[in-house]
């Protein structure tokens, strides 16, 4: 890449301005030139945060959030990105059930976390978005996963995450599964209130924690990701 800091500023700026064509073009070029895909996602995320701030200030509207989501999704689905995440691996690290909790339809962060887990050799059952506590309980019962992962980007999802944990307790399933919760807004206090086993504000950190839980040493479990 000719000038990484220029690429960085340009990409964040294109996402912030909702410039679909240039965001995707630059992301593709950067990937072809060898940028770390995870670093690229961080840059995209930074652009999204700026979009969120503009929405907060009422300079952007809901249609702009939709557009930002579409741009991120297209970058996530670039062939170069897919190759990074969907390397072939022959090792099953563990089983994870994942979903975005009820009331929330944001799924980009959840999907990034899922792709990372898959790249690490986890078998992931994705329940999608706006998932009720009953569906989580049913699927923990059915699949007997090592880990249940809850995503909730809206701050209002803290209560719903706690309800999911409580419902698992009521169904006598809580002790059978580790629970990780993830979102930008989560704090130690929210984590303690919810009663999960771990939390992360970043997908990479979360994936690292899941590997630790499964006793996977660093450097193992990923093959074919170049
Ligand atoms: C794109 C977007 C949308 C899109 C989502 C498209 C999609 N397919 O996901 C759409 C248009 C649907 C949308 C809708 C709404 N949105 Co919105 N949205 C955004 C925006 C701009 C980007 C979100 C995003 O994808 N970011 C990129 C990803 C990578 O980041 P992420 O999801 O946070 O994930 C990271 C971490 O959280 C973590 N992570 C996430 N999940 C998990 C799970 C686990 C287990 C782990 C370990 C980690 C992890 O890993 C990721 C990074 O590594 C944010 C702004 C922002 N600051 O994020 C607002 C934002 C989240 N939205 C917001 C709002 C208010 C809404 C609406 C209520 C607007 C409305 N009036 O209708 C609705 C809610 C609809 C609903 N019921 O869910 C607010 C939330 C404020 C709050 N306090 O809760 C934000 C912060 C904007 C703002 N500043 O006001 N939105």
- Which residue is closest in CA terms to ligand 1's atom 63? 154
Number of other residues whose CB lies within 10 A of the CB of residue 45: 18
DSSP states of 130-173: SB-HHHHHHHHHHH--SEEEEE--STTHHHHHHHHHHHHHHTT-
Regarding the beta carbon of 187 and ligand 1, being less than 6 Å apart is answered: no
Domain positions in the chain = 4-85, 94-213
Under a CB-based contact definition with an 8 Å cutoff, are residues 120 and 211 in contact? yes
Regarding the beta carbon of 62 and ligand 1, being less than 6 Å apart is answered: yes
Regarding the beta carbon of 158 and ligand 1, being less than 6 Å apart is answered: no
CATH of domain 94-213: 3.40.50.280
Q: Do 94-213 and 4-85 fall under one CATH topology? A: no
Backbone angles phi, psi at 79, to 5 degrees: -55, -40
- Which residue is closest in CA terms to ligand 1's atom 55? 52
Q: Any idea which fold 4-85 has?
A: 1.10.1240
Regarding the beta carbon of 69 and ligand 1, being less than 6 Å apart is answered: yes
Give the separation between CA 88 and CA 148, rounded to whole angstroms.
Answer: 23
Can you give the pLDDT of all 226 residues of the chain as single tens digits? 457 888 999 999 999 999 999 999 999 999 999 999 999 999 999 999 999 999 999 999 999 999 999 999 999 999 999 888 876 555 688 999 999 999 999 999 999 999 999 988 999 999 999 999 999 999 999 999 999 999 999 999 999 999 999 999 999 999 999 999 999 999 999 999 999 999 999 999 999 999 999 987 554 333 333 2
Q: Which atom of ligand 1 is nearest to the CA of 157?
A: 84
Regarding the beta carbon of 200 and ligand 1, being less than 6 Å apart is answered: yes
Full-model pTM: 0.93
Give the separation between CA 43 and CA 3, rounded to whole angstroms.
Answer: 15
């Amino acid at each position: 890449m000719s000038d990484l800091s220029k690429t960085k500023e340009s990409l964040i700026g294109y996402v912030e301005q909702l410039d679909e064509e240039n965001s995707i073009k630059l992301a593709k070029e950067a990937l072809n030139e060898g940028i770390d895909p995870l670093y690229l996602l961080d840059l995209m995320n930074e652009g999204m945060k700026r979009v969120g701030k503009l929405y907060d200030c009422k300079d952007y509207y809901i249609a702009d959030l939709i557009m930002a989501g579409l741009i991120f999704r297209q970058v996530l689905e670039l062939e170069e990105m897919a190759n990074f995440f969907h390397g072939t691996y022959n090792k099953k690290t563990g089983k994870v059930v994942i979903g975005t909790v009820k009331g929330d339809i944001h799924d980009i962060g959840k999907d990034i976390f899922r792709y990372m887990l898959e790249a690490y050799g986890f078998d992931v059952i994705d329940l999608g978005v706006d998932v009720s506590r009953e569906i989580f309980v049913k699927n923990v019962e059915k699949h007997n996963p090592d880990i249940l992962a809850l995503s909730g980007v809206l701050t209002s999802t803290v209560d719903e995450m706690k309800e999911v944990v409580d419902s698992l307790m009521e169904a006598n399933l809580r002790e059978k599964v580790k629970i990780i919760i993830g979102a930008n807004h989560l704090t130690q206090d929210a984590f303690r209130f919810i009663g999960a086993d771990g939390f992360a504000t970043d997908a990479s950190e979360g994936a690292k924690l899941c590997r630790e839980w499964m006793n996977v040493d660093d450097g193992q479990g990923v093959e074919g990701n170049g």
